[in-house]
Structure 1
Amino acid sequence: MPHERLLIPVVTINVDLLFFIPSVAMPGGSTNPISMTGFVEKVSGTVHKAKAHMHDNAHDLAQVTKQREKDKLNGPCVDVTIQFINASGLPKLDVVGASDPYFVAKLDDRVSMVSTVKTRSLTPEWNETWRVKNVPTTSELRVEILDKDTDTPHDDYIGKFKTTIEAGEKELDIQGPLFRKDRGTFRLTIETKPSTDPAEPKYLFDGPIRYSRHFSPLVGKLTNIDDARLYSTWKMYLVDVPVYFKDVYQHWNVNYKAAQSIFGSGPTSLAIRAGIHAGHKMLYARSTSNGFGIIQSAEDIMKLFEGGSLDPKGILGSDREDLSQEEQSKLEEVDALAAPTNESPFAHRIKPAVYTYIISAQDDSLRFSETGAAFFVDFASKHALHADCAEQVRYSGEFHLRPRAKDNSWCGWQDFNDSMPDTSVDWEVLIDNNSGTYSPDKAMLPTLKGLIDCNFPGLDVLALDREDEGLKKSVDACRDYALNYRGVKAEHLQPHQQEGHKSLLKPLGVVGKVAHLQRGGVEPS
C-alpha cells in the first residue's frame, strides 16, 4: 500500500507562528509515534527559544531604558521657572454655568504641581509660578486641564498639551480627547538658567511655598461643630525636603497597637484602612471653596493661624450635595440667618491651639489640622488620617505657636495677654515628634528644625522631643489660655464626640462597624 502524505492540523504557538507539518502515515493508518515525538520536541524547542528571545528582548529594552534615564540624569541640567499665565477658548462642559478649570503640571512624571481652581470661567487667569531645580535639559513638560465637577466623584477632562523646557513664551493648543484640537489654548513662559547646585537632588521643588485650606461643610454638619477651623485641614508644599531628610523616612510603628490595627493584613485592618482612605479623601477634597495662598513672609504664616470666622457661611464646597434634601434645606436656613458680622472677636488674632501634622513621603507636603478637630473621633489614628494610611512619612507629630517678648524677658502664653497686639511680640514654633503611629526618631529633630526654619520665614523654630518637660508646660499654657481667655471649650482641645455627632464613615459608604473596630472594639461575629 503506497504511503500517503497527510497534513496534521494547524498548531498555534504562543509566539504567533503557524506551522503546517507533514507526517508519514504508518501502514494501517496509524502514525509513527517516533516521528510525532520528534515533532513535539522540535516544537517545544522552538517555543522555548522564542520565549528566551522575547525575554532577552524585554531585558535589553529595560536595560536601554534604564541607561537612557541614567544618561539623562547625568546630562546637563538647568533650574527652571515656569509661569502659567492663562488659558482661553476653553469648552463649556457643564450644562448649567461655565467651567471651573484647574491644571496639573508634571515634569517627566518626577515632580508635579496642581493649580488653584478658577470658578465659572472659560478664560481663566492663573499667573502661578513653579520653580524646579536641577531639571535635565531634555525634560518634557506635560499639562492636563480639568474641570472641577461638584456633582460627580471625578472631574471632567478638558484636554492636555506638552512642550519642551526650552526658554521663551509659548501659546500651546490644548488637545482634547481623540486628538480634537478645539479645546482652546494655554499661554505660559519658561525661564531657565544653569543649575546653581548640581549636587542637589534632581527635580527639586524650589517654590514658591503654596498652601491650600480645605473646608468641608459636610464634616461640620456631621460633627455638629460651628467653628470652621475645627473641620478644616491645611496642606503646604515644602521646599528642600530631600535636601534635609535625604533618604530617611519614618515607618509605621510595628509595636503600637493602634498602628497594628491599621496596617495589619487581616480583613479588619483592610476595613479600617478603607475608612481612613475615604475620610482622607473627604477632608482633603479639592473644591471651588478651598482657600489658596503663597507663603513669602512671616505675616503670611501668621495669617494661617488666626482664629477666623466661627461659622461656615460662604464656605460652600463640593460636600453639600452629599447631604439629604432635608439637611440641605436646614443648612441653607442656617446660612440665611447667619449675620454677616458673626465672627469671633479674636478672628484676626493668633489662636492658641495645638496642631497635628505629618510631612508626606509622597509629595513633600506638610498636612495638618487642629488636634482637637472633631472628625478625629471616628478614626484610629490622627496621623494615619493625614497621611492617607501611608506606611511611611518623612516625619510627624504636633506643633503650636507661642509668643515671646521682643527683649526676651518672657516667653509663653502664660505671660501673654490680649491687650498686647500680636505684632508687638515675636512668635516661636514648637514642633515635636509626638506620634504613636509613626514614632519618629528624635535624632532627626535637628533636621526637622532646619526644614521648618527654611519654610516658615521670620519665625523662630524649636524642635523638641515629646518627652521634653518644657514642651509639655508650653502645650499646657497654650491650652489654658485658650480655655480661660479665648472661650474655647474643653472638648475642643482633644477629639470629642459632640451631641448630635454623626460618624463621617456613614456618608462615605463604609461599613458601620469600622469605627467600632478602630476604637479597639471586638468585631461582632
Structure 2
Amino acid sequence: MSSTALYTCLITIHRATNVPVSDFNNFTSDPYFHISLSVNIGNGAPQILAHRTRTERSTRDPTFDSKWVVSGIPSRGFNLALTLMDEDPGNHDDKLGQAVLWFPFAGQTFEEGWESGEQEYDVHKRKGEFKSRVGSFVAKAVTREKVGHRCRVWVSVKVVGKAKSQTDHRIYTLGPRAAKAPNEDHSQPSLKASTFVANRLQLAGPVPTDLRHRYVGFAPFIKAMFKRKGIEGMILHRALHRQHTFIYNWAKSTVYGITSASEDEDHRQEGEGDSGEGKGNSLSTESEAFARQLLKMTSHGTHGRIFTYVIMLDGEWRFTETGEEFSIQFLSKHTMHSDVSIEIAFSGEFFVRSLHGDDTSDEEHTSPSHPSEYELVIDNDSGTYRPRSDLLPTLQAYLASPENLAAFGRVIAMDGFDEKLKKWKENRTNVKSEFRNSKGKGRENGKVV
C-alpha cells in the first residue's frame, strides 16, 4: 500500500548565496553543508543518516550540486537539517547557520514520480556562531553595502522509485560512491611506503542486519570511555575523539570525489580489456570504478601494505595503513576509526594483492591492471569490537555484491586467528620491513605478496 511503501530519493544541494563571512582577510568563507536526514519510525529513537558536501574555497556564493541517494524512505517523508559550516583545519570548523526542512510538502506523501523542483530556503544565521554574524556586519560596512546579508540555499528532492526491499524499514545510503583522502598524487597507484593516509569510502547499503557489533567492555576503563563516565572515561573519550578528528579532518589537501564509470571507459579506450576468467564481461562499470578507487587508495597492495578498518552501520568504510612506522599503531585503532562509536558493522584488518602472485612486479604500475586481477583479503582482527567469525561469510557476500566490489577477482573474509592468514600477514610485514630498510631501492621492494 502507498501509505506503507518505501522509496528511494535523490536529494540535491544545489547552491547557496550570501554565506556569512568567516575569513576577515578577504571577507569570504570556505563553506560546506553537513546534512542530517532523520526518519521517525514510531517505535523508538529516529533513524539518522549524515552526508557532507565538498568544501568550496574562498567564496560566499558556493555552487555544490551535491547529490545524495537515500533508500528506505517511508511515504510520509523525512526531516532534513542542513548545517552550514566554514572549514578551518587549523582550529575547529565554525557553524555559520542552519536550515531545517521537511519533505514532502505539507499535506503530501511520497509516491513514484514525486519531485519538489529547486526550492529556496533561508539559512538562519542566528543558529550560527557569533563570530560569523559579526563578520558579515563588518564586511557589509567596509564594502558599503556590497555584501549581501540574507543567506539562502537551494535544495531539490526527487523520488526515483520504490526501495528494493519493502520489508527492511532501515534508511540507508545508495550513493554517491564518495571517496575521501588527503591530496596525494594518485596518477601513480603506489604512494611512498611511509605516507600516512586516512581514507573513507561509502559502500552501497543496506548493510546486512546481522553485521552489528557492540564494543567489548573487557576492562572497566573501556566501558567508562565509551559511555563517558567518570573523569578517566571522559578524558579517554575526548582524547580518542580528538585523534579521530585530527586524522580524518578536511583540509585544502583533502581529495573528495565520486567514483564514476567514465573512468573505466577511459581505461577501455586506452586498450585495457576485461580479464579474470571472463568475469569482467558481466560486471557493471560502476562496480569496476569503485574497485579501481579502492586499488588506488591502497596503492594496489604494493610494499606489503596492511590496513586497519571499520565499517560503520551506515556503510561508511574507514581505513588507514597500519604499521610500526605510523603513530596510529599505538592508538586504540578501531575505537579511533569509529570515533568511539558504541556499535559498528564490522572491523579488523585487510589487504589487497595480485591474484597472479607476481612477487617481482615493478614498484610502480604505469598502466594499472584490471580489478579482476586482484583479491581483497579481509578479517575480523579487532580486540575492541571482536566481530563474530560466523558472520565472515555475510561480510564477504556484502563486499563482493554487484553494488560494491564484484569487480574484484576475489573477495575473501577470514578469521583473524587463521594460521594461513597469519602467515600471509607475516610475509607482508617482512616485505615492508625490507623496503624500509633499503629505502625503496631495488626491484624486489615493489613486490606484491
The answer to whether the superposition gives a TM-score over 0.5 is: yes
2:288 to 298, 301, 316: 298
SS at match of 2:436: coil
> Is 2:196 aligned against 1:231?
yes
1:141 and 1:162 in contact (8 A); partners too: yes
The one-letter code sitting in structure 2 at the alignment partner of 1:476 is E
| SS of structure 1 residue aligned to 2:117 | strand
Spell out, residue by residue over 1:202-224, the C-alpha distance to the aligned partner (whole angstroms, 9 max, x if none). Answer: 322211221222579xxxxxxxx
Q: What SS class does the counterpart of residue 488 from structure 1 fall into?
A: helix
* SS of 1:202 mapped into structure 2: coil
Alpha-carbon distance change, 228 to 145 in structure 1, aligned in 2, over 3 angstroms: farther
Residue 250 of structure 1: how far off its partner (Å): 2.0
**Number of paired residues?**
362
8 A contact 2:224–2:234 mirrored in 1: no
Residue 187 of structure 1: how far off its partner (Å): 4.6
Rounded Cα–Cα distance in structure 1 between residues aligned with 2:364 and 2:70: 44
Distance 1:250 1:187 in 2: 35
The answer (yes or no) to whether the contact 1:147–1:158 under 8 Å persists in 2 is no
User: What whole-Å deviation, never above 9, does each CA across 1:15-42 have from its counterpart, x for those lacking one?
Assistant: xxxxxxxxxxxxxxxxxxxxxxxxxxxx
Q: Deviations over 1:361-411 (max 9, x none)?
A: 4x43211100126222552x2111212223332211100001013xxxxxx
Aligned ranges for residues 144-293 of structure 1 at < 5 Å? 144-150=83-89, 152-165=91-104, 166-178=114-126, 182-188=150-156, 190-214=158-182, 230-242=195-207, 244=208, 246=209, 248-255=211-218, 267-293=231-257
Give yes or no for contact 2:308–2:334 (8 Å, CA) kept in 1. Answer: yes
Amino acid at match of 1:156: K
Task: From the superposition, tell whether residues 275 and 215 of structure 1 become closer, same or farther in structure 2 (CA, over 3 Å).
Answer: farther
1:466-505 to 2 correspondences below 5 Å: 466-484=416-434, 487-489=435-437
- For 1:477, give the aligned amino acid: N
Deviation of 1:307 after TM superposition, in Å, equals 7.8
Report the Cα offset of residue 156 of structure 1: 3.2
Partner of 1:81: 10
Give the Cα separation in 1 of the matches to 2:159 and 2:62.
22
CA 1:249–1:184 in structure 2 vs 1: closer, same or farther (change >3 Å)?
closer
Query: Residue 42 of structure 2 aligns with which residue?
Result: none
What is the DSSP-based 3-state SS (H/G/I as helix, E as strand, rest coil) of the residue aligned with 2:92?
Answer: coil
1:340-419 aligned at under 5 Å gives the runs: 350=302, 352-361=304-313, 363-372=314-323, 374-379=326-331, 381-405=332-356, 412=357, 414=359, 416=361, 418=363
Task: Give the Å deviation of 1:78.
Answer: 2.1
Specify the alignment match of 1:458 in structure 2. 407
Question: Superposition RMSD on alpha carbons, in Å?
Answer: 3.7
Identity of aligned residues (%): 21
Cα shift at 1:237: 2.4
**2:37 counterpart residue number:** 107
Distance 1:442 1:276, change over 3 A: same
**Distance in 1 (alpha carbons) for counterparts of 2:374 and 2:221:** 34
Residue 440 (structure 2) pairs with residue 440 (structure 1)? no
Q: Per-residue deviation at 1:249?
A: 2.4
TM-score between the two structures when normalised by the length of structure 2: 0.69
Distance 1:163 1:261 in 2: 37
1:314-325 paired onto structure 2 within 5 Å: none
Q: 1:266 and 1:89 mapped to 2: Cα distance?
A: 44
* Aligned counterparts of 2:396 and 2:71: Cα–Cα separation in 1: 23
| One-letter code aligned to 2:326 | A
Mean Cα displacement is larger for which, 249-258 or 286-295?
249-258
Q: What is aligned with 1:117?
A: 55
Q: Secondary structure at the match of 1:467?
A: coil
* Separation of aligned partners in 2, 1:280 and 1:135: 30
Residue aligning to 2:378: 431
Determine which of 133, 137, 144 is the counterpart of 2:75.
137
Q: Is the 8 A contact 2:303 2:431 kept in 1?
A: no
Residues 403 and 427, structure 1, Cα contact 8 Å, conserved in 2: yes
**Contact 2:85 / 2:93 at 8 angstroms: preserved in 1?**
no
**Matched letter for residue 194 of structure 1:** K
Please give the alpha-carbon distance, in whole angstroms, between the structure 1 residues aligned to 2:153 and 2:224: 50
Of structures 1 and 2, the one scoring higher in RCO (CA 8 A, sep 6+) is: 2
Q: CA deviation at 1:228?
A: 9.1
Query: CA 1:364/1:395 → structure 2, altered by over 3 Å: closer, same or farther?
Result: same
TM-score (norm 1): 0.60
Contact 1:252/1:437 (CA < 8 Å) preserved in 2? yes
- Residue type of the alignment partner of 2:239: G
Equivalent-residue separation in structure 2 for 1:204 and 1:377 (angstroms):
32
Rounded to whole Å, the distance in 1 between the matches of 2:330 and 2:82 is 37
**How far has the Cα of 1:229 moved from its partner?**
6.4
Distance in structure 1 (CA, Å) of the matches to 2:20 and 2:226: 44
Larger radius of gyration: 1
Higher mean C-alpha deviation, range 444-453 or range 98-107: 98-107
Against the structure 1 CA distance between its residues 174 and 491, is the aligned structure 2 distance closer, same or farther, given a 3 Å change threshold?
A: farther
Deviation at residue 419 of structure 1 after TM alignment: 8.6
Inter-partner Cα distance in structure 2 for 1:491 and 1:434: 29
SS at match of 2:345: strand
* 2:226/2:237 contact within 8 Å kept: yes
Which residue identity does 1:236 align to in structure 2?
A: L
What SS does the aligned partner of 1:447 have?
helix
> Separation in 2 of the partners of 1:429 and 1:75?
39
